[in-house]
């Protein structure tokens, strides 16, 4: 998957007698300060282009230590409140979905969103700091090269990157909805889903409805995925077979759509993936769309562009471990 260079990786301390219960350690501040103090020399020695830091795992006293970095520092936020705090401080920030993620999941989604927003470029060397929110501790440092490292399953060459027909905010929102579905399911039952974002006219011309379109006739402002009030409708309809087709501006055109995809010879997939993932890869191979899938069996989320899976975000199981080893062949 490329070169991954974890410099430090200490899992958060666990409370005695409470399985999976995080313990806010007295050493939390020391761990964070030590990590941030030494990351400066790592940034300088490897010539990093940017540093990504999870804001909710960094206490105020750690902010001053980051000011001396000569490269760009982006704070990763999860909520509107955190975003507002960073705006008031005048710092650069990146918004990611507010869902439970493993340490590497945190790094993957942060780098992906930074790349999608044009804040970093392929080939840039990035230092990522993540950690455990409840204890306010940064405990993981990863150095990664954008586009050739583990966060991209099948990185696209710049000349092969499709001309996207959607804004990064819409992609971010769809991934947020997808990861929420993957983590929570619907009424405590796991669900699978596929969202096809952008190039909607062409996507619809290469598909057919499995049901009557439930969005037909409704005002566009009432069916925009950017509207948080619309999320419950999306979750309810996710139990229907077929794909959601989302315009580049976030308006949902249809759901329950069967995608007439390209043959497997024009796209690439990791072994073991099934129909849902093949449909996502196939439709992105012949359109400018981005597809986001939710696996019903694992809850994992995958992102497809140009006929390739470029990102996988693994669901966190109870106890903190990603879901692994589940058969994906029916997905």
Q: How confident is the model at residue 113 (pLDDT cuts 50, 70, 90)?
A: confident
pLDDT digits 0-9 by tens, 161-171: 555 667 778 88
DSSP assignment of 302-328 equals EEEETTEEEEEEPPBPTTSPBP-S---
Q: How confident is the model at residue 218 (pLDDT cuts 50, 70, 90)?
A: very high
Rounded Cα–Cα distance for residues 49 and 65 (Å): 18
Statement: residue 327 has pLDDT above 60: no
| Mean pLDDT score of the chain | 76
Which pTM was predicted?
A: 0.74
pLDDT digits 0-9 by tens, 30-72: 777 777 777 878 888 888 888 888 877 665 555 555 655 666 8
- Give all strands of the β-sheet with 193-197 in edge-to-edge order: 207-209, 252-259, 243-246, 193-197, 290-294, 301-305, 308-313
pLDDT digits 0-9 by tens, 238-249: 888 899 999 999
- The residue-averaged pLDDT of 153-181 equals 71
**Hey, which residues does 127 pair with through a beta bridge?**
51, 143
Statement: residue 18 has pLDDT above 50: no
Rounded Cα–Cα distance for residues 156 and 285 (Å): 12
**Residue in 282, 264, 245 with CA at minimum distance from that of residue 165:** 245
Q: Could you tell me which residues come within 8 angstroms of residue 276 by beta carbon, excluding any fewer than 6 positions away? A: 192, 194, 293, 295, 331
Higher pLDDT, 278 or 98: 278
Statement: residue 8 has pLDDT above 50: no
Statement: residue 149 has pLDDT above 60: no
């Amino acid at each position: 998957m490329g070169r991954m260079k974890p410099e430090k990786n200490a899992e958060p301390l666990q409370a005695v007698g409470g399985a999976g219960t995080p313990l806010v350690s007295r050493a939390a501040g020391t761990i964070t300060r030590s990590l941030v103090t030494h990351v400066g020399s790592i940034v300088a020695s490897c010539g990093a282009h940017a540093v990504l830091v999870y804001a909710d795992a960094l206490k105020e006293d750690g902010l001053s230590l980051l000011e001396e970095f000569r490269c760009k520092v982006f704070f990763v936020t999860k909520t509107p409140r955190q975003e507002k705090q960073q705006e008031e401080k005048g710092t650069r920030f990146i918004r990611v979905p507010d869902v439970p993620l493993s340490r590497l999941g945190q790094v993957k989604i942060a780098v992906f969103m930074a790349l999608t927003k044009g804040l970093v470029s392929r080939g840039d060397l990035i230092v990522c700091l993540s950690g455990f929110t409840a204890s306010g501790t940064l405990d993981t440092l990863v150095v990664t090269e954008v586009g050739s490292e583990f966060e991209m399953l099948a990185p696209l060459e710049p000349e092969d990157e499709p001309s996207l027909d959607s804004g990064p905010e819409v992609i971010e929102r769809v991934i947020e909805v997808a990861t929420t579905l993957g983590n929570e399911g619907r009424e405590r039952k796991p669900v699978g889903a596929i969202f096809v974002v952008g190039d909607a006219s062409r996507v619809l011309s290469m598909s057919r409805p499995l049901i009557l379109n439930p969005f037909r006739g409704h005002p566009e402002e009432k069916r925009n995925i950017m509207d948080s009030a619309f999320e419950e409708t999306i979750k309810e309809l996710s139990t229907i077979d077929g794909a959601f087709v989302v315009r580049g501006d976030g308006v949902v055109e249809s759901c329950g759509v069967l995608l007439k995809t390209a043959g497997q010879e024009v796209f690439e997939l990791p072994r073991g993936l099934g129909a849902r993932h093949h449909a996502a890869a196939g439709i992105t191979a012949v359109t400018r769309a981005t597809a986001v899938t939710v696996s019903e069996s694992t809850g994992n989320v995958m992102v497809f562009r140009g006929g390739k899976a470029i990102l996988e975000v693994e669901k966190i199981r109870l106890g903190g471990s990603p879901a692994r080893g589940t058969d994906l062949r029916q997905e």
